[in-house]
Amino acid sequence: MKQTLLVCLCLGLLASCGNEDDKPVSKEQLRATGSAGPAQVPPQNEMTRSMMQDYWVFEYYVLNNDPEGSTFNRGRWYKFHPDGTYDGGHWQDQTDFGNWYYKLTSEKTYILIDSEVDDLNDAEWDVQASTRDFSAMSWVRTGKYGDQRVVSGKLIKLQSMPTKKQFLLE
Protein backbone atom coordinates (compact mmCIF):
# COMPACT_ATOMS: atom_id res chain seq x y z
CA MET A 1 0.00 0.00 0.00
CA LYS A 2 2.83 2.40 0.89
CA GLN A 3 4.54 1.67 -2.42
CA THR A 4 1.34 2.40 -4.37
CA LEU A 5 0.90 5.69 -2.53
CA LEU A 6 4.55 6.61 -3.17
CA VAL A 7 4.21 5.82 -6.89
CA CYS A 8 1.03 7.93 -7.13
CA LEU A 9 2.71 10.86 -5.37
CA CYS A 10 5.74 10.65 -7.68
CA LEU A 11 3.56 10.51 -10.78
CA GLY A 12 1.53 13.48 -9.55
CA LEU A 13 4.71 15.46 -8.93
CA LEU A 14 6.06 14.64 -12.38
CA ALA A 15 2.78 15.61 -14.03
CA SER A 16 2.77 18.95 -12.23
CA CYS A 17 6.25 19.77 -13.57
CA GLY A 18 5.03 19.72 -17.18
CA ASN A 19 4.12 22.63 -19.39
CA GLU A 20 0.82 23.89 -17.95
CA ASP A 21 -2.16 23.77 -20.30
CA ASP A 22 0.15 22.79 -23.20
CA LYS A 23 0.92 26.48 -23.79
CA PRO A 24 3.73 27.17 -26.26
CA VAL A 25 7.12 27.76 -24.70
CA SER A 26 8.23 31.39 -24.92
CA LYS A 27 11.69 32.71 -25.69
CA GLU A 28 12.03 33.78 -22.06
CA GLN A 29 11.39 30.20 -20.89
CA LEU A 30 14.10 28.64 -23.07
CA ARG A 31 17.37 27.97 -21.33
CA ALA A 32 20.24 29.38 -23.36
CA THR A 33 23.30 27.15 -23.08
CA GLY A 34 24.79 27.91 -26.48
CA SER A 35 26.82 30.90 -27.54
CA ALA A 36 26.20 33.22 -30.45
CA GLY A 37 28.16 36.01 -32.03
CA PRO A 38 26.82 39.54 -32.29
CA ALA A 39 23.70 40.16 -34.33
CA GLN A 40 24.26 41.94 -37.66
CA VAL A 41 21.65 43.67 -39.74
CA PRO A 42 21.42 41.65 -42.98
CA PRO A 43 21.89 43.30 -46.35
CA GLN A 44 18.69 44.42 -48.01
CA ASN A 45 17.85 42.48 -51.17
CA GLU A 46 14.82 40.59 -52.47
CA MET A 47 15.76 37.36 -50.72
CA THR A 48 16.47 38.84 -47.29
CA ARG A 49 13.38 41.04 -47.39
CA SER A 50 11.29 37.97 -48.16
CA MET A 51 13.03 35.95 -45.45
CA MET A 52 12.16 38.60 -42.86
CA GLN A 53 8.46 38.15 -43.55
CA ASP A 54 6.41 35.38 -42.03
CA TYR A 55 7.71 31.94 -40.98
CA TRP A 56 10.01 29.68 -42.98
CA VAL A 57 8.91 26.09 -42.44
CA PHE A 58 10.51 22.81 -43.49
CA GLU A 59 7.85 21.15 -45.62
CA TYR A 60 10.38 18.42 -46.40
CA TYR A 61 13.40 17.62 -44.24
CA VAL A 62 15.67 14.85 -45.50
CA LEU A 63 18.30 13.71 -43.02
CA ASN A 64 20.57 11.30 -44.88
CA ASN A 65 20.31 7.68 -43.70
CA ASP A 66 17.75 8.62 -41.02
CA PRO A 67 14.14 8.29 -42.20
CA GLU A 68 12.78 8.64 -38.65
CA GLY A 69 14.74 11.87 -38.11
CA SER A 70 13.54 13.15 -41.48
CA THR A 71 9.91 12.58 -40.55
CA PHE A 72 10.32 14.01 -37.06
CA ASN A 73 12.00 17.26 -38.23
CA ARG A 74 9.27 18.15 -40.69
CA GLY A 75 7.56 21.26 -39.33
CA ARG A 76 10.72 22.92 -38.03
CA TRP A 77 10.61 26.66 -38.63
CA TYR A 78 12.54 29.92 -38.50
CA LYS A 79 11.25 33.46 -38.07
CA PHE A 80 13.98 35.85 -39.25
CA HIS A 81 14.02 39.38 -37.85
CA PRO A 82 15.42 42.56 -39.51
CA ASP A 83 17.90 43.11 -36.65
CA GLY A 84 19.74 39.85 -37.52
CA THR A 85 18.10 37.72 -34.82
CA TYR A 86 15.78 34.77 -35.32
CA ASP A 87 13.33 32.60 -33.43
CA GLY A 88 13.07 28.93 -34.27
CA GLY A 89 10.83 26.07 -33.37
CA HIS A 90 9.02 22.91 -34.22
CA TRP A 91 5.32 22.96 -34.96
CA GLN A 92 3.72 25.37 -32.47
CA ASP A 93 6.59 25.41 -29.98
CA GLN A 94 9.50 27.80 -29.94
CA THR A 95 12.64 25.77 -29.26
CA ASP A 96 15.44 28.06 -30.41
CA PHE A 97 16.61 31.64 -30.85
CA GLY A 98 19.83 33.37 -31.83
CA ASN A 99 21.34 35.27 -34.75
CA TRP A 100 21.24 34.68 -38.49
CA TYR A 101 23.65 35.83 -41.16
CA TYR A 102 23.37 36.11 -44.92
CA LYS A 103 26.57 35.26 -46.77
CA LEU A 104 26.96 35.73 -50.52
CA THR A 105 30.00 34.38 -52.36
CA SER A 106 30.73 34.55 -56.05
CA GLU A 107 29.11 31.12 -56.50
CA LYS A 108 26.68 30.51 -53.64
CA THR A 109 24.30 32.05 -51.13
CA TYR A 110 24.43 30.84 -47.54
CA ILE A 111 22.25 31.34 -44.48
CA LEU A 112 24.11 30.88 -41.22
CA ILE A 113 22.22 30.06 -38.03
CA ASP A 114 23.99 30.83 -34.73
CA SER A 115 21.89 29.46 -31.87
CA GLU A 116 21.99 30.86 -28.36
CA VAL A 117 20.07 27.82 -27.08
CA ASP A 118 22.24 24.93 -28.29
CA ASP A 119 25.42 25.02 -30.35
CA LEU A 120 24.29 21.81 -32.09
CA ASN A 121 21.59 23.98 -33.74
CA ASP A 122 24.28 26.11 -35.40
CA ALA A 123 24.21 25.52 -39.13
CA GLU A 124 25.39 26.82 -42.46
CA TRP A 125 22.72 26.31 -45.12
CA ASP A 126 23.53 26.47 -48.83
CA VAL A 127 20.54 28.03 -50.59
CA GLN A 128 20.27 25.72 -53.61
CA ALA A 129 17.21 27.23 -55.27
CA SER A 130 14.22 29.46 -54.71
CA THR A 131 11.03 30.37 -56.46
CA ARG A 132 11.02 33.73 -58.24
CA ASP A 133 8.78 35.26 -55.59
CA PHE A 134 10.81 33.70 -52.74
CA SER A 135 7.82 31.80 -51.37
CA ALA A 136 9.78 28.53 -51.29
CA MET A 137 13.45 27.59 -51.13
CA SER A 138 15.58 24.48 -51.04
CA TRP A 139 18.48 24.40 -48.60
CA VAL A 140 21.30 21.94 -47.96
CA ARG A 141 23.14 21.99 -44.64
CA THR A 142 26.88 22.05 -45.29
CA GLY A 143 27.91 20.25 -42.09
CA LYS A 144 30.32 23.04 -41.24
CA TYR A 145 28.81 23.85 -37.81
CA GLY A 146 26.75 22.17 -35.10
CA ASP A 147 25.17 18.85 -36.03
CA GLN A 148 27.29 17.95 -39.04
CA ARG A 149 24.95 15.43 -40.64
CA VAL A 150 23.89 16.32 -44.16
CA VAL A 151 20.33 17.62 -44.46
CA SER A 152 18.37 18.69 -47.52
CA GLY A 153 15.13 20.52 -47.14
CA LYS A 154 12.36 22.41 -48.84
CA LEU A 155 11.15 25.43 -46.92
CA ILE A 156 7.90 27.24 -47.53
CA LYS A 157 6.74 30.60 -46.26
CA LEU A 158 3.72 30.60 -43.94
CA GLN A 159 2.02 33.53 -42.24
CA SER A 160 1.79 31.73 -38.89
CA MET A 161 3.55 28.97 -36.99
CA PRO A 162 2.90 25.63 -38.66
CA THR A 163 0.48 23.11 -37.23
CA LYS A 164 0.32 19.38 -37.77
CA LYS A 165 -3.23 19.85 -39.05
CA GLN A 166 -1.97 22.09 -41.91
CA PHE A 167 0.37 19.26 -42.95
CA LEU A 168 -2.41 16.65 -42.64
CA LEU A 169 -0.71 14.94 -39.71
CA GLU A 170 -3.73 15.22 -37.37
Domain locations along the chain: 32-158
Q: Evaluate if residue 16 carries a pLDDT over 50.
A: no
Q: Which residue has the higher pLDDT, 25 or 46?
A: 46
How does pLDDT run across 121-169, given as a tens digit for each residue? 999 999 999 999 999 999 999 989 888 888 999 999 999 999 999 999 8
The pLDDT of residue 146: 87
Characterise 69 by phi-psi region: left (phi > 0), alpha (psi -120 to 50), beta (else).
Answer: alpha
- pLDDT category, 55, cuts 50, 70, 90? very high
Question: pTM for the full model?
Answer: 0.80
32-158 has which CATH code?
A: 2.40.128.20
Instruction: Give the integer Cα–Cα distance in Å for 118 and 114.
Output: 9
Please choose, from the candidates 85, 18, 79, 20, the residue with its C-alpha nearest in 3D space to the C-alpha of residue 54: 79
What is the overall mean pLDDT for the chain? 85
Q: What is the C-alpha to C-alpha distance for residues 78 and 65, in angstroms, rounded to an integer?
A: 24
Share of the chain above pLDDT 70, in %: 81
pLDDT in tens, 20-40: 444 555 555 566 677 888 999
Q: Which of 87, 100, 98, 103 is nearest to 36 (CA)?
A: 98
